[in-house]
Amino acid sequence: MIWLRTAFLAIAWAILSLIVHASVGAPWGYIVMIGALTVILLWRAVRMQRVAQWARQPESTPPLSVGRWDDILAPLYRYTRTQARDIEAGREAMKSMLAAAQALPDGAVTLNAELQIDWANRMAQEHLGVRLPADRGHNILNLVRSPEFSAYAHQAEWPEPILVRVTRGHHDHLLMMQLTAYARDHRLLVTRDVTQIEKLETTRRDFVANVSHELRTPLTVLAGFLETLRDMPKEALSDEQREQYMALMTEQALRMQSIVADLLTLSTLESSPSAEPQRVRMSPLIEAARQQSEALSAGRHTFSWDIDPELDVLGAEPEISSAVANLLTNAVRYTPDGGAIAVRWTREGNGARYAVKDSGIGIASRHISRLTERFYRVDRGRSRAVGGTGLGLAITKHIAMRHDAELDIQSEVGKGSTFSLVFPAERLAETESPL
Ligand code: ADP
């Protein structure tokens, strides 16, 4: 105990002074007493100074051997150390929480009761254009200028999110926004960009509408003929007329069959994973497509072939065969009689190119980027007349993607087109060494 030690020291010095006083005489007793007191005071002043110095930076190590101060400084130092550690841990937790909030895929903005911005993460900057620290204290309604959002923000509660269309740069975005109250009088605004989801939903709706439309025409024709055949007395129709009706009905039924078959192919390509790539022998595969297209052309076109027999690819044979044949039959169908079709399967750089060049009707540049959309046709009537479904290039593009290949389209109206499949080096099969 500090007071006990101090009292003990004072008594010890008093006794020593009394002994000196009794044995040597009074002045020496006082001298010893005063001298001792001076030394003690000086010594204490030095220690006090070291303690005072430490107190200015209590997180540093406390001075050693400062006598009785040790008993005070040690617990104090332990306390400040624990405090400093707690503060550091709190700071780290705060930092990691802020980093997590920054990394959120959604936008987050904290607001006060007056809807003034307090803090926002990076995504909120992207979604709403909030810039910190410049926008701190600004009302969120100045950034999101939408009457619907303003009405929503002034509601007492926000059980549901709201969809708000905002313009960023030159693009429109659809944001899903949700306000939530937290702490006392604070609001958290969470934003999510749902533009892509909306686009997918529109594509899905358009697709269903397109399929219905495509099937409705042949079905209407078919139903019309069936009705005529049912309602007309047998003798009112000549055999020739009946034959004609039957032929037209068969044509429409086949048309529906091709559409359904192409739709099934597309859906299989979209939903099934790619099979383990196998070596696909291109030369016989192109030969089969050649026979098919020359039969379709029936001598109306001149063909030329430049096929590298050594060049094979790694992939799925039925898929590549379908893509190769599709580009060839399109060339035949969209090239008027007397036209020329040139087919090449050759090396190009480290990869290879399958190119079908025709001298056909050609395609205006504004259509080219849309040709691989489902049911997109430059001339609907013409496509129908040649038995097209509008799905061939969509299927071909899908197949190309599954083989890391590119579908390249070059065309000029009235001059002709070149449709190519460009395979990268990784998709080429090593030439088999002769035994
Ligand atoms: P379709 O069944 O209508 O041929 P595709 O998806 O195969 O459908 O082709 C889409 C459209 O691209 C066609 O309707 C046609 O307008 C155009 N097209 C395709 N190939 C050619 C070509 N070789 N020359 C000119 N136009 C073509």
pLDDT at residue 304 tops 80: yes
Of 255, 366, 383, the one to substitute when testing ligand 1's pocket (max ligand atoms within 8 A of C-beta) is 383
Does the beta carbon of 388 sit less than 6 angstroms from any atom of ligand 1? yes
Mean pLDDT of 286-301: 96
Q: How far is CA 115 from CA 92, 142, 146, 180, 246, in A?
A: 29, 10, 15, 12, 72
Q: Which domains does the chain have, with CATH numbers?
A: 2-97 (no CATH), 104-193 (3.30.450.20), 199-270 (1.10.287.130), 276-427 (3.30.565.10)
Q: What per-residue confidence (pLDDT) applies to 418?
A: 98
Does the beta carbon of 218 sit less than 6 angstroms from any atom of ligand 1? no
- In the reported structure, the alpha carbon of residue 398 is separated from the centroid of ligand 1 by a whole-number distance in angstroms of 16
Does the beta carbon of 319 sit less than 6 angstroms from any atom of ligand 1? no
Which residue's CA lies nearest to atom 8 of ligand 1? 390
Q: What per-residue confidence (pLDDT) applies to 386?
A: 83
| Axis-axis angle for helices 239-271, 392-402 (nearest 10) | 20
pTM of the model: 0.68
Q: What per-residue confidence (pLDDT) applies to 186?
A: 93
Does the beta carbon of 301 sit less than 6 angstroms from any atom of ligand 1? no
Q: How far is CA 74 from CA 3, 69, 372, in A?
A: 18, 8, 79
- In the reported structure, the alpha carbon of residue 299 is separated from the centroid of ligand 1 by a whole-number distance in angstroms of 21
- In the reported structure, the alpha carbon of residue 216 is separated from the centroid of ligand 1 by a whole-number distance in angstroms of 21
Look at the block and give the residue holding tokens 């609907």. Answer: 380
How many CB atoms neighbour CB 128 within 10 A?
23
133: its two tokens: 């620290």
pLDDT at residue 306 tops 60: yes
Atom of ligand 1 nearest to the CA of 356: 23
Give 316's pLDDT tier (boundaries 50, 70, 90): very high
Q: What per-residue confidence (pLDDT) applies to 432?
A: 58
Q: Which of 189, 171, 170 is nearest to 179 (CA)?
A: 189
pLDDT at residue 365 tops 60: yes
Mean pLDDT of 354-362: 97
DSSP-assigned states of every residue in 286-325: HHHHHHHHHHHHTTSSEEEEEE-TT--EEE-HHHHHHHHH
Q: What per-residue confidence (pLDDT) applies to 67?
A: 67
CA torsion, points 102, 108, 112, 113, in degrees to nearest 10? Answer: -160
- In the reported structure, the alpha carbon of residue 74 is separated from the centroid of ligand 1 by a whole-number distance in angstroms of 88
Does the beta carbon of 393 sit less than 6 angstroms from any atom of ligand 1? yes
In eight-state DSSP terms, residue 234 is G
Q: For the chain, what is the mean pLDDT?
A: 90
DSSP-assigned states of every residue in 107-157: EEEEE-TT-BEEEE-HHHHHHH---TTTTTTSBHHHHS--HHHHHHHTSS-
Determine the residue type at 17. S
Atom of ligand 1 nearest to the CA of 388: 2
Atom of ligand 1 nearest to the CA of 335: 24
Q: Which of 142, 103, 153 is nearest to 123 (CA)?
A: 103
pLDDT at residue 266 tops 80: yes
Which residue's CA lies nearest to atom 7 of ligand 1? 392
Q: Which of 297, 310, 271 is nearest to 402 (CA)?
A: 271
Whether the bond between 318 and the residue before it is cis, its omega within 30 degrees of 0, is no
DSSP-assigned states of every residue in 360-428: S----HHHHTTTTSTT--SSHHHHHHTT--S-HHHHHHHHHHHTT-EEEEEEETTTEEEEEEEE-GGGB
Does the beta carbon of 358 sit less than 6 angstroms from any atom of ligand 1? yes
Mean pLDDT of 100-121: 93
What tens digit of pLDDT does each residue of 210-251 get? 899 889 988 998 999 899 888 888 888 888 888 988 999 999
Q: What per-residue confidence (pLDDT) applies to 179?
A: 95
Does the beta carbon of 378 sit less than 6 angstroms from any atom of ligand 1? yes
361: its two tokens: 């009707």
Percent of the chain with pLDDT over 70: 97
Look at the block and give the residue holding tokens 């934003």. Answer: 191
CA 157 – CA 61 distance, rounded (Å) = 54
